[in-house]
Chain A
Protein backbone atom coordinates (compact mmCIF):
# COMPACT_ATOMS: atom_id res chain seq x y z
CA UNK A 1 0.00 0.00 0.00
CA UNK A 2 1.39 3.35 -1.00
CA UNK A 3 -0.30 5.25 1.77
CA UNK A 4 1.44 3.87 4.82
CA UNK A 5 3.06 6.49 6.99
CA UNK A 6 5.71 5.39 9.45
CA UNK A 7 4.82 7.37 12.57
CA UNK A 8 7.90 7.76 14.82
CA UNK A 9 5.73 6.97 17.86
CA UNK A 10 3.28 4.34 16.59
CA UNK A 11 4.95 2.57 13.69
CA UNK A 12 3.45 1.91 10.28
CA UNK A 13 -0.10 3.23 9.99
CA UNK A 14 -2.52 3.86 7.13
CA UNK A 15 -3.12 7.41 5.95
CA UNK A 16 -6.75 7.20 7.17
CA UNK A 17 -5.49 7.73 10.72
CA UNK A 18 -3.98 11.09 9.80
CA UNK A 19 -5.21 14.50 8.76
CA UNK A 20 -3.05 16.78 6.65
CA UNK A 21 -2.61 20.44 7.43
CA UNK A 22 -0.35 21.50 4.57
CA UNK A 23 3.03 23.04 3.89
CA UNK A 24 5.50 22.63 6.74
CA UNK A 25 8.31 24.69 5.30
CA UNK A 26 6.71 28.09 6.01
CA UNK A 27 8.36 30.20 8.69
CA UNK A 28 6.15 32.52 10.71
CA UNK A 29 7.16 36.15 10.10
CA UNK A 30 7.94 38.47 13.00
CA UNK A 31 4.94 40.34 14.48
CA UNK A 32 6.23 43.60 13.02
CA UNK A 33 6.61 42.23 9.50
CA UNK A 34 4.83 44.02 6.68
CA UNK A 35 1.23 43.26 5.71
CA UNK A 36 2.52 41.95 2.41
CA UNK A 37 4.73 39.42 4.21
CA UNK A 38 1.89 38.30 6.49
CA UNK A 39 -0.44 37.99 3.54
CA UNK A 40 2.04 35.70 1.82
CA UNK A 41 2.46 33.61 4.98
CA UNK A 42 -1.26 33.21 5.64
CA UNK A 43 -2.77 32.96 2.16
CA UNK A 44 -0.29 32.36 -0.63
CA UNK A 45 0.68 28.76 -1.31
CA UNK A 46 2.70 27.01 -3.96
CA UNK A 47 1.29 23.85 -5.46
CA UNK A 48 4.45 21.91 -6.13
CA UNK A 49 4.76 18.52 -7.73
CA UNK A 50 7.40 16.26 -6.23
CA UNK A 51 9.22 16.36 -2.93
CA UNK A 52 7.19 18.24 -0.34
CA UNK A 53 7.19 18.80 3.42
CA UNK A 54 3.81 18.72 5.13
CA UNK A 55 2.36 18.84 8.62
CA UNK A 56 0.39 15.68 9.34
CA UNK A 57 -1.64 15.15 12.50
CA UNK A 58 -1.83 11.56 13.72
CA UNK A 59 -5.40 12.13 14.84
CA UNK A 60 -6.33 8.50 15.52
CA UNK A 61 -3.01 7.39 17.00
CA UNK A 62 -0.63 9.32 19.22
CA UNK A 63 -2.33 12.66 18.39
CA UNK A 64 1.05 14.26 17.68
CA UNK A 65 1.85 16.66 14.85
CA UNK A 66 4.39 15.21 12.44
CA UNK A 67 6.44 16.63 9.62
CA UNK A 68 6.17 14.24 6.69
CA UNK A 69 8.56 14.71 3.79
CA UNK A 70 7.19 12.90 0.79
CA UNK A 71 6.86 12.96 -2.95
CA UNK A 72 3.28 13.87 -3.80
CA UNK A 73 3.67 12.39 -7.27
CA UNK A 74 5.16 8.96 -6.52
CA UNK A 75 3.85 8.80 -2.88
CA UNK A 76 7.32 7.89 -1.70
CA UNK A 77 7.87 8.93 1.92
CA UNK A 78 11.39 10.17 2.71
CA UNK A 79 11.17 11.02 6.38
CA UNK A 80 8.68 11.44 9.21
CA UNK A 81 9.61 13.43 12.31
CA UNK A 82 7.71 14.73 15.29
CA UNK A 83 6.89 18.40 14.66
CA UNK A 84 8.27 19.39 18.07
CA UNK A 85 11.60 17.77 17.22
CA UNK A 86 11.57 19.39 13.79
CA UNK A 87 10.93 22.81 15.37
CA UNK A 88 13.84 22.29 17.78
CA UNK A 89 16.09 21.40 14.86
CA UNK A 90 15.05 24.61 13.04
CA UNK A 91 15.69 26.78 16.15
CA UNK A 92 19.08 25.17 16.87
Chain B
Protein backbone atom coordinates (compact mmCIF):
# COMPACT_ATOMS: atom_id res chain seq x y z
CA UNK B 1 0.00 0.00 0.00
CA UNK B 2 1.28 3.45 -0.80
CA UNK B 3 0.70 6.54 1.26
CA UNK B 4 1.03 9.80 -0.64
CA UNK B 5 2.37 12.63 1.47
CA UNK B 6 0.15 15.64 1.11
CA UNK B 7 0.98 18.93 2.77
CA UNK B 8 -1.85 20.54 4.76
CA UNK B 9 -1.43 23.83 2.83
CA UNK B 10 -1.44 22.19 -0.60
CA UNK B 11 -4.94 23.44 -1.47
CA UNK B 12 -4.09 26.98 -0.42
CA UNK B 13 -0.90 27.19 -2.43
CA UNK B 14 -2.18 25.80 -5.73
CA UNK B 15 -2.29 28.61 -8.23
CA UNK B 16 0.46 30.63 -6.60
CA UNK B 17 3.34 29.09 -8.51
CA UNK B 18 4.73 32.22 -10.17
CA UNK B 19 8.21 33.48 -9.66
CA UNK B 20 8.62 34.77 -6.14
CA UNK B 21 8.68 38.46 -5.31
CA UNK B 22 11.21 40.08 -2.93
CA UNK B 23 8.71 39.44 -0.16
CA UNK B 24 8.05 35.76 -0.15
CA UNK B 25 6.39 33.26 2.16
CA UNK B 26 7.97 29.86 1.69
CA UNK B 27 6.32 26.80 3.19
CA UNK B 28 8.77 24.01 3.95
CA UNK B 29 7.43 20.95 2.20
CA UNK B 30 8.78 18.28 4.53
CA UNK B 31 10.44 19.80 7.57
CA UNK B 32 11.72 17.76 10.47
CA UNK B 33 10.41 19.09 13.79
CA UNK B 34 11.04 17.54 17.19
CA UNK B 35 10.02 18.85 20.57
CA UNK B 36 12.56 18.21 23.29
CA UNK B 37 11.97 18.37 27.03
CA UNK B 38 14.90 18.24 29.44
CA UNK B 39 14.86 16.05 32.54
CA UNK B 40 14.64 18.07 35.76
CA UNK B 41 18.02 19.50 36.70
CA UNK B 42 19.66 18.54 33.39
CA UNK B 43 18.59 21.60 31.41
CA UNK B 44 22.10 23.02 30.89
CA UNK B 45 23.54 19.66 29.76
CA UNK B 46 20.62 19.12 27.40
CA UNK B 47 21.13 22.56 25.92
CA UNK B 48 24.82 21.82 25.28
CA UNK B 49 24.07 18.53 23.56
CA UNK B 50 21.43 20.14 21.34
CA UNK B 51 23.76 23.03 20.47
CA UNK B 52 26.31 20.58 19.10
CA UNK B 53 23.92 18.75 16.76
CA UNK B 54 24.73 19.20 13.08
CA UNK B 55 22.28 20.47 10.48
CA UNK B 56 19.51 21.44 12.88
CA UNK B 57 18.23 24.67 14.36
CA UNK B 58 17.26 24.70 18.04
CA UNK B 59 14.43 27.04 19.08
CA UNK B 60 13.42 27.97 22.60
CA UNK B 61 9.88 26.98 23.48
CA UNK B 62 10.05 27.27 27.26
CA UNK B 63 12.43 26.69 30.16
CA UNK B 64 14.12 23.34 29.48
CA UNK B 65 12.02 22.93 26.35
CA UNK B 66 13.04 23.30 22.73
CA UNK B 67 11.91 22.74 19.18
CA UNK B 68 14.55 21.14 16.98
CA UNK B 69 13.89 22.05 13.35
CA UNK B 70 15.71 20.84 10.28
CA UNK B 71 15.24 21.02 6.56
CA UNK B 72 18.00 18.57 5.66
CA UNK B 73 18.09 15.90 8.34
CA UNK B 74 15.50 13.15 7.85
CA UNK B 75 12.99 12.40 10.61
CA UNK B 76 14.29 8.88 11.31
CA UNK B 77 17.88 9.93 11.46
CA UNK B 78 17.22 12.86 13.80
CA UNK B 79 15.06 10.62 15.99
CA UNK B 80 18.00 8.22 16.35
CA UNK B 81 20.46 11.01 17.02
CA UNK B 82 18.25 12.53 19.71
CA UNK B 83 17.59 9.14 21.26
CA UNK B 84 21.31 8.29 21.40
CA UNK B 85 22.58 11.65 22.60
CA UNK B 86 19.74 12.40 24.99
CA UNK B 87 19.78 9.36 27.27
CA UNK B 88 19.21 10.60 30.79
CA UNK B 89 19.20 14.21 29.65
CA UNK B 90 16.06 14.81 27.64
CA UNK B 91 13.16 13.21 25.81
CA UNK B 92 12.27 14.04 22.24
CA UNK B 93 9.00 13.58 20.36
CA UNK B 94 8.52 13.82 16.61
CA UNK B 95 6.20 16.70 15.69
CA UNK B 96 6.96 16.84 11.97
CA UNK B 97 3.42 15.97 10.91
CA UNK B 98 1.84 18.17 13.54
CA UNK B 99 3.68 21.40 12.79
CA UNK B 100 3.98 23.59 9.73
CA UNK B 101 7.08 25.68 9.14
CA UNK B 102 6.59 29.02 7.35
CA UNK B 103 9.57 31.05 6.22
CA UNK B 104 9.03 34.76 5.64
CA UNK B 105 11.65 36.81 3.88
CA UNK B 106 11.99 40.25 2.37
CA UNK B 107 13.39 43.67 3.22
CA UNK B 108 10.19 44.79 4.99
CA UNK B 109 9.43 41.48 6.68
CA UNK B 110 9.54 43.08 10.14
CA UNK B 111 6.78 45.49 9.12
CA UNK B 112 4.65 42.57 8.00
CA UNK B 113 5.20 40.62 11.21
CA UNK B 114 4.61 43.69 13.38
CA UNK B 115 0.95 43.59 12.34
CA UNK B 116 0.31 40.38 14.26
CA UNK B 117 3.23 39.85 16.61
CA UNK B 118 4.00 41.49 19.95
CA UNK B 119 7.71 40.62 20.12
CA UNK B 120 10.33 43.32 19.58
CA UNK B 121 12.03 42.27 16.33
CA UNK B 122 14.72 44.93 16.20
CA UNK B 123 18.11 43.35 15.50
CA UNK B 124 19.38 44.48 18.91
CA UNK B 125 16.54 42.79 20.78
CA UNK B 126 16.03 39.79 18.50
CA UNK B 127 19.30 39.00 16.67
CA UNK B 128 19.85 36.30 14.06
CA UNK B 129 19.53 32.96 15.84
CA UNK B 130 17.09 34.23 18.46
CA UNK B 131 13.79 32.43 18.93
CA UNK B 132 10.65 32.84 21.01
CA UNK B 133 7.43 31.02 21.76
CA UNK B 134 4.74 33.58 21.18
CA UNK B 135 1.43 34.41 19.59
CA UNK B 136 1.06 35.15 15.88
CA UNK B 137 -2.37 36.08 14.49
CA UNK B 138 -3.90 34.87 17.78
CA UNK B 139 -2.41 31.40 17.29
CA UNK B 140 0.46 29.92 19.29
CA UNK B 141 3.61 30.05 17.21
CA UNK B 142 7.33 29.64 17.56
CA UNK B 143 9.25 32.45 15.93
CA UNK B 144 12.92 32.36 14.98
CA UNK B 145 15.16 34.76 13.13
CA UNK B 146 17.26 32.75 10.69
CA UNK B 147 18.75 35.70 8.82
CA UNK B 148 18.67 39.49 8.97
CA UNK B 149 15.50 39.61 6.84
CA UNK B 150 14.26 36.06 7.26
CA UNK B 151 12.01 34.69 9.97
CA UNK B 152 10.60 31.22 10.49
CA UNK B 153 7.29 30.50 12.15
CA UNK B 154 6.39 27.07 13.45
CA UNK B 155 2.63 26.75 13.91
CA UNK B 156 0.48 23.78 14.68
CA UNK B 157 -1.00 22.04 11.68
CA UNK B 158 -4.60 22.86 12.51
CA UNK B 159 -3.90 26.62 12.64
CA UNK B 160 -1.56 26.65 9.65
CA UNK B 161 -4.20 27.49 7.05
CA UNK B 162 -5.50 30.42 9.07
CA UNK B 163 -2.04 31.81 9.86
CA UNK B 164 -0.96 31.34 6.24
CA UNK B 165 -3.89 33.34 4.91
CA UNK B 166 -3.46 36.06 7.54
CA UNK B 167 0.23 36.49 6.70
CA UNK B 168 -0.53 36.75 2.98
CA UNK B 169 -3.17 39.35 3.78
CA UNK B 170 -0.68 41.32 5.87
CA UNK B 171 1.94 41.00 3.15
CA UNK B 172 -0.34 42.25 0.39
CA UNK B 173 0.93 45.82 0.61
CA UNK B 174 4.40 44.45 -0.21
CA UNK B 175 3.08 42.08 -2.92
CA UNK B 176 4.05 39.04 -0.92
CA UNK B 177 4.03 35.77 -2.83
CA UNK B 178 3.75 32.27 -1.43
CA UNK B 179 4.87 28.84 -2.43
CA UNK B 180 6.47 25.63 -1.26
CA UNK B 181 10.15 25.94 -0.61
CA UNK B 182 12.32 24.51 -3.34
CA UNK B 183 14.35 22.51 -0.85
* Residues of chain A at the chain B interface (Cβ within 8 Å): 9-14, 16-17, 59-64, 82
Contact = CB atoms under 8 A, between A and B. Distances in A.
Contacts of B133: 10, 60-63
A13 B132 CA distance: 11
Interface residues of B, number: 12
From DSSP, what is the main secondary structure of chain B's interface residues?
strand
A9 B62 contact: yes
B38 to A, nearest CB: 13
Contacts of A63: 62, 133
Given A10-B132, A17-B134, A62 B118 contact: no
B135 A64 contact: no
Nearest to A1: B118
A17 B118 CA distance: 9
Contacts of B61: 62
A9 B63 contact: yes
Contacts of B118: 13-14, 16-17
Interface in B147-164: none
Nearest to A13: B118
- A-B complex: 5 closest residue pairs judged by Cβ atoms: A62-B62, A60-B135, A14-B118, A9-B63, A61-B133
Given A10-B132, A13-B134, A60 B140 contact: yes
A16 B135 CA distance: 9
Contacts of B63: 9, 62, 64, 82
Contacts of A62: 61-63, 65, 133
A25 to B, nearest CB: 24
A59 B63 CA distance: 14
Nearest to B141: A60
A91 B140 CA distance: 33
Contact of A17 (B62, B65, B120, B135): B135
A67 to B, nearest CB: 15
A15 to B, nearest CB: 10
Contacts of B134: 10, 13, 17, 60-61
A26 B134 CA distance: 30
Contacts of A12: 120
- Counting chain B CB atoms within 10 Å of each CB, the highest count among A11, A12, A62 belongs to A62
B59 to A, nearest CB: 12
20 contacts: A9-B62, A9-B63, A10-B132, A13-B119, A13-B134, A16-B118, A16-B135, A17-B118, A17-B135, A60-B134, A60-B135, A60-B140, A61-B132, A61-B133, A61-B134, A61-B135, A62-B62, A62-B63, A63-B62, A63-B133
